Amino acid sequence: MQTLAHSEDSEFWSDVYSGRSIAVFYRYGRWHAYLDHVFQHSVVFASGQDAIAWLVQRIDHGVPARLN
């Protein structure tokens, strides 16, 4: 898995971690996350690195993406 380089300059980043799709994007001054192509609407992040760390932790703990 690649790391998010220059998160201040990148508005979107995606990769696969442990066979699951993850993505983060910057919009309206906040970082948002997708897990398995499902927008994680209940959380926002101060940095892209924070969003990636949260996604990786959820995957490592076996948490499924939620559709609701």
**54 within some domain:** yes
The model carries a pTM of 0.83
* pLDDT tens track for 7-37: 455 799 999 999 999 999 999 999 999 999 9
Q: What is the pLDDT of residue 32?
A: 97
Residue at 42 is within a domain: yes
Domain total in the chain: 1
pLDDT band of residue 62 (cuts 50, 70, 90) is very high
**29: containing domain:** 12-60
- The answer to whether residue 66 sits within a structural domain is no
C-alpha span between 58 and 36 (Å, rounded): 11
Backbone φ, ψ for residue 51 (5° rounding): -65, -45
Asked whether residue 7 is assigned to any structural domain, the reply reads no
Residue 5 has pLDDT above 80, yes or no: no
The answer to whether 13 and 3 have CB atoms below 8 angstroms apart is no
Cβ atoms < 10 Å from Cβ of 32: 19
Query: Angle 20-25-30 (CA atoms, 0-180°, nearest 5)?
Result: 130
Closest Cα partner for 3 from 33, 24, 32?
A: 24
41 within some domain: yes
pLDDT: which is higher, 68 or 52: 52
